A and B are shown apart, each in its own frame.
Chain A
């Protein structure tokens, strides 16, 4: 198997208005491998996904896909790129006026001329894959949060994408269902060679499925590499993240008082 990189992120900076939330993000995403992005809440993982899927405008030269610059994609190129990807949003983002079946079948209805019966069977297969076969006729408002996640994953997979972006697939899932999802992801990579990028907080699952791990903190990449490299990293902040210690060293008393009291505390 080759280890070429399908996506190259080089010095990505990102802003909401004037606030910078991503700083000089650099790492490759190898083709047909599972890349896992970890990091505390609010460190910019979803923002990174929004760049990778073209939802947030990227400055030229910062993300290369297949050697082409995402920052200068035309509308047609972006559309063509998006037909190759599947995306699971953190919220699931199911269409709440459509049943699960209709949600999952929607890309097929729009992009293919398949017969209704074929679409029905394909939909059922994907629902089965995520363990929701009986729930096809339910509306999104009638199912639980974890089920929405899984239905969203089924929808992301319906077009058999080359690349799959999943934002926290297992948050809100019990350990057994979560393990099932891990297996599903490993299967997709092994049998179909899908390139997968996963955001997760679950350390155990991350080390189980990852070919490459990226640890982010506060909008920066702390470390990236093979799971062993990360596990043996000497960086104290990476170690802290892996041992799930609470953020103690960041709490400088002076800064804390200042935040509470403004300038008054100096007297």
Chain B
């Protein structure tokens, strides 16, 4: 007969413990910036992985999103005879919301899952223990370069996403639906200002930190709580990394929007 009060207490303690560990993980990762080993080469390698290899999928997503935004926007705006605002509608939604969020979700799916899996495999194969035994700080070696690479890549990917999205919107709006090119661009440039770009930038930086933090954390502690180290634990860590990162990105998006708007 399990005492419900006791199991509730145990549950609460576990959650507090995990939260503390998650926080400490971030502290150690940031501390890694001032600790050996050198960060330059591994960071470049990670940027190549996170950044370069995500360009195609983000470009594709962005173009189609821009196209569909133009299509939807046009049909709504014509009802009010305001199709001249199409550029503005497409630009604002991409720069403020969709660009950062879509890029973040794509990077989560592509790179976050891979980060969790790679580090998780290192955990179950005792490679992280080996690092520790060589007196190499595993946070600094594994998590810090990935965090840096994410913080550098995601804002760049986001601007790429914005640009391609607007291009897609332009193609559909001007090329297919017949909005005048001048109206599209003047609508865009008159309404999207530095504040919007700034909001997009803040968002993508925050998202990049969340993605790298959660994904590396999940991989690092794969199987540790269960005390069992097998492929199953890596699989679970990878799934959790993607799900939790995505949710965190969406919540964070709401919070930042509500603060900055």
Contact = CB atoms under 8 A, between A and B. Distances in A.
A53 B36 contact: no
Interface in A74-99: 79-80, 82-83, 85, 87, 89, 91, 93-97
A110 B130 contact: no
A107 B121 contact: no
A168 to B, nearest CB: 13
Contact of A93 (B36, B118, B129): B129
Interface string B134-159: 11100001000000000000000000
A83 to B, nearest CB: 5
A93 B126 contact: yes
A248 to B, nearest CB: 32
Interface in A186-212: none
Contacts, number: 53
Most A CB within 10 A of own CB, among B129, B130, B136: B130
Contact of B36 (A87, A97, A110): A110
A106 interface: yes
Contact of B134 (A16, A97, A106): A106
Nearest to B141: A110
Contact of A89 (B36, B129, B141, B227): B129
A163 to B, nearest CB: 11
Contacts of B242: none
B127 A110 contact: no
Contacts of A234: none
A55 interface: yes
Contacts of A94: 127, 130
B133 A96 contact: no
B224 to A, nearest CB: 12
Among A53, A82, A93, A159, the most chain B Cβ lie within 10 Å of the Cβ of A93
B42 to A, nearest CB: 11
A87 B136 contact: no
B90 interface: no
A82 B135 contact: yes
B231 to A, nearest CB: 14
A53 B37 contact: no
A203 B134 CA distance: 30
A109 B125 CA distance: 22
Contacts of A83: 135
Contact of B135 (A79, A89, A93, A109): A79
B44 to A, nearest CB: 15
Contacts of A17: 227
A224 to B, nearest CB: 24
A94 B128 CA distance: 10
Contacts of B133: 53, 55, 82, 85, 87
A122 to B, nearest CB: 15
A113 to B, nearest CB: 10
23 contacts: A16-B227, A17-B227, A55-B132, A80-B135, A82-B132, A82-B134, A85-B133, A87-B130, A89-B126, A91-B125, A91-B126, A93-B125, A93-B126, A93-B127, A95-B127, A95-B130, A96-B121, A96-B127, A106-B134, A106-B136, A107-B135, A107-B136, A110-B37
The 6 closest A-B pairs by CB, nearest first: A93-B130, A82-B135, A87-B133, A93-B126, A110-B37, A83-B135
